[in-house]
Amino acid sequence: MRSLADDLAGDVVRRYRIEHDQAVDMVVESFGRSRALVTAVAAADSVEQVKRLRVYRDAATTAKKEIYHHLRRYRPAESSASDAVDRLVALPVSSDERAAAVRAVVANHVSTAERLGELDGFFSQLFDHIGRPDTIVDVGCGVLPLVFPLDDPPVGQLWAVDTDPEAIRAVSAYARGDERVHPVRWDLTEDWPALHARGLPNRVDVALVLKVLPVVARRAPQALDVLARTPADLVVFSGSRTAMAKRQDIERRETGVLRRFLAEHGFTEVGEFRTADEVCLVARPVG
């Protein structure tokens, strides 16, 4: 069974962003759920004989689909992610273990973990373009607020909003030690008045809409009008340069989505910067 999995893992690694040993383990687990394949493997004389069977082809297709969907989750290991948040929630603000707990939460959130190797560069470029804002709203924040630099330059308020209850639970635990961070569970379908009712100022200096707009355009295009009304003097929109799961360059596609949105809703693009993973456009809304 493992020889079969090793063979399929080679194809998986070429297509998806996953290490070979992890791919083998996941394929073995998937294959093990196919009783028909297990029976066929027990009766076969060779790997090549099994690979000629329809039951193998079906099991291989299922395994690749499962790996793809696993890699597209923001928290691939749900139990590990929840355990990491539980640990952060349980720790006192003054605990020496708090920094390690924060790192564990961030590492278990794919979108933020992708930035870990370039956080300093990302934030350096970000502040080069947004200056010294006092109020920031991070739309679809994930757990980025846990590593957001609030001291240099000083930020007065960071509103961290997301639909994901686990992300907001993590940010809320972190915010116990920093009153500048305001976590709110919020969905675009609620529109901005609902967020203003929770305390968000009528106008903020900067809004961050990072890796959010292309997803909204695909899954809930009706909510694009809400993003177009983002109450900020400056908005940073971003998209991914590489696919979350596949080994595929998607920068051109994502940038196209961002620029079409800016054109259709009257934004003026005033800046652009990149990291290895992300393309960011800085824009001013109408008026």
CATH number of 261's domain: 3.40.50.150
- Report the pLDDT value the prediction gives residue 72, as an integer from 0 to 100: 67
- List the domain range (segments joined by +) for residue 26: 2-71
Residue 129 has a pLDDT of: 97
For residues 120 and 62, membership in a common domain is answered with no
Is 146 a domain residue?
yes
Q: Is 174 inside any structural domain? A: yes
Number of structural domains the chain divides into: 2
Q: How much is the pTM? A: 0.74
Tell me if 158 is assigned to some domain.
Answer: yes
Q: What is the pLDDT of residues 31-89, one digit of tens each?
A: 988 999 989 888 888 889 999 999 999 999 999 888 877 776 644 445 567 889 999 99
Task: Note the pLDDT tens digit of each residue in 203-251.
Answer: 999 999 999 999 999 889 999 999 999 999 999 999 988 765 455 678 9
Domain match, 166 and 36 both: no
Average of per-residue pLDDT across 2-25: 84
Query: 15 and 125 share a domain?
Result: no
Are residues 139 and 15 part of one domain? no
**Is the domain of 151 the same as that of 217?**
yes
Q: Are 183 and 168 in contact (CB under 8 A)?
A: yes
Answer yes or no: is pLDDT of 26 > 90: no
* Claim to verify: residue 145 and residue 245 sit in the same structural domain: yes
56 φ, ψ to 5°?
A: -70, -45
95-148 pLDDT per residue, tens: 999 999 999 998 887 667 667 778 889 999 999 999 999 999 999 999 999 999
Q: In terms of domains, do 153 and 269 share one?
A: yes
